[in-house]
Amino acid sequence: MRSVSDPARAAKLVGLLALAALVVAFPALAPDPFILSVGVVIMSYAVLATSWNFVGGFTGYVSLGHAAYSGLGGYATALLVVRADLNPWLALVLGGVVVAVLAVPIGIASLRVRGASFVIVSIALVLITLLVFQSLGDFTGGSNGLRVPRPFGPDVLRPEQHERFFYLHAALLAVALLCWWAIDRSRFGSGLKAIREDEDKAEALGVPTFTYKLVAFVVSAFFTALGGGLYALWFGFLDPIFQFSVLTGSYLVLMSLLGGVRSLFGPVLGAVIVGYAVEYFKAQYGDTQLHLVALGVLLAAVVLFMPDGIIPALRDLLHRFRPRTASIREVSQAELAEQRRAGTVEEARL
């Protein structure tokens, strides 16, 4: 067994190290600041998609309203910096904690419903937060937006800002992935996956389903808020229409489904593909809605041909071509004769 598992583990380790090396080298490989800024956007999407996967991947609940938590995280961080004059990094952490606390009553109310009802509740949350932050113009800036001071000061040029925030997003992504990996291998994660497969049966077996769902929901909101706050510090400007957009939540669902919601790096792969596609269509075709058409076609293709996502599909394909080991171990003629002699001696004793 060890001879089979060790090469697989070694391959995973090599792949992980290669991925880490690529991430570290990307700012140096980027040909211009625009490509580097696209890298920051994709990394931000990867953080948000991985954060979404704490709920969607573990419990199977599809939320289109995670833009509410990223928007709340962005505004909480920005308002703590602008109104309370806090250190930006302290404001980022406190903003994530504030959103996590707010997610508790939201989760208690919304997690009592399932399926399409939960999707509708999540969309309603985004629309409510959009209206609230638009109406509080004196405090949040309203439709005029809110300008956020950059944490590294005016002396740091824009390309250096991109590079630093790329690494900050990568660090946050690594923490989120590590947390997801730890939960996936814990008893808590087993309970969440039981909820995903059959919630009623899991509850009948003694799993505290509502508590487990609520904890996963709050953890997801916390990391989503951190991602939104870090994006706000990088971009430097917040607009309620953009921050609280149902389209952002749809992107996160598409990214996770494309890569594979049940795999660790599925949302990351989906974020790279979808994030690059979105930025490419915006750069090539401006403000047209062509990117929405392309993403709709991509989503339909995923549902039809790879319903479990790219990574599970590739894993299944590799299993098909992997040489199969015999279920019965082959023995030599000498070993067979020895076994027969041992059996004859045993029969004589009886």
* pLDDT at residue 55, as a whole number: 95
Torsion-angle region of residue 190: left (phi > 0), alpha (psi -120 to 50) or beta? alpha
If you average pLDDT over residues 130-145, what whole number do you get?
90
Nearest-Å Rg of the Cα atoms of the chain is 25
* pLDDT at residue 327, as a whole number: 46
Torsion-angle region of residue 80: left (phi > 0), alpha (psi -120 to 50) or beta? alpha
- How many CA within 13 A on the CB side of residue 167? 10
Instruction: Quickly count helices (H) and strands (E) in the chain.
Output: 16, 2
Instruction: Quote the mean pLDDT of the chain.
Output: 87
pLDDT at 9 over 90: no
- Nearest CA to 162 out of 94, 231, 224, 217 is that of 231
* pLDDT at residue 305, as a whole number: 80
pLDDT at 38 over 70: yes
Using CA atoms, how far apart are residues 288 and 290, in angstroms rounded to an integer?
Answer: 6
Instruction: Decide: helix, strand or coil at residue 62.
Output: coil
Tokens linked to 273: 């593909």
Q: How many CB atoms lie within 10 A of CB 123?
A: 18
* CB-based contacts of 118-125 (< 8 A; 24+ apart in sequence): 118/61, 118/62, 118/63, 119/62, 119/63, 119/64, 121/65, 122/63, 122/64, 122/65, 122/66, 122/68, 122/249, 123/64, 123/65, 123/246, 123/249, 124/65, 125/65, 125/68
Using CA atoms, how far apart are residues 128 and 183, in angstroms rounded to an integer?
Answer: 31
* pLDDT at residue 311, as a whole number: 87
DSSP 203-249: HHTT--HHHHHHHHHHHHHHHHHHHHHHHHHHH-EE-HHHHT-HHHH
Q: Which residue has the tokens 């019965």?
A: 328
If you average pLDDT over residues 102-118, what whole number do you get?
94
Higher model confidence: residue 311 or residue 92?
92
pLDDT at 344 over 70: no
Tokens linked to 194: 């039981």
* pLDDT at residue 326, as a whole number: 46
pLDDT at 153 over 80: no
* pLDDT at residue 21, as a whole number: 92
pLDDT at 315 over 90: no
Using CA atoms, how far apart are residues 43 and 344, in angstroms rounded to an integer?
Answer: 69
If you average pLDDT over residues 92-113, what whole number do you get?
96
Using CA atoms, how far apart are residues 119 and 65, in angstroms rounded to an integer?
Answer: 8
Tokens linked to 276: 């690059």
Q: Which residue has the tokens 């920005």?
A: 78
* pLDDT at residue 3, as a whole number: 45
Q: How confident is the model at residue 174 (pLDDT cuts 50, 70, 90)?
A: very high
Percent of the chain whose predicted confidence (pLDDT) is above 70: 89
If you average pLDDT over residues 67-95, what whole number do you get?
96
Torsion-angle region of residue 321: left (phi > 0), alpha (psi -120 to 50) or beta? alpha
pLDDT at 39 over 60: yes
**Terminal CA-to-CA distance of the chain, rounded, Å?**
36
pLDDT at 82 over 50: yes
Higher model confidence: residue 158 or residue 208?
208
Please tell me the pTM assigned to this model: 0.88
* Per-residue model confidence as pLDDT tens digits over 216-268: 999 999 999 999 999 999 999 999 999 999 989 989 998 999 999 988 999 99
**What CATH number does the domain located at 33-324 have?**
1.10.3470
Longest dimension (CA), the chain: 98
**Chain Cα centroid distance, residue 280:** 22
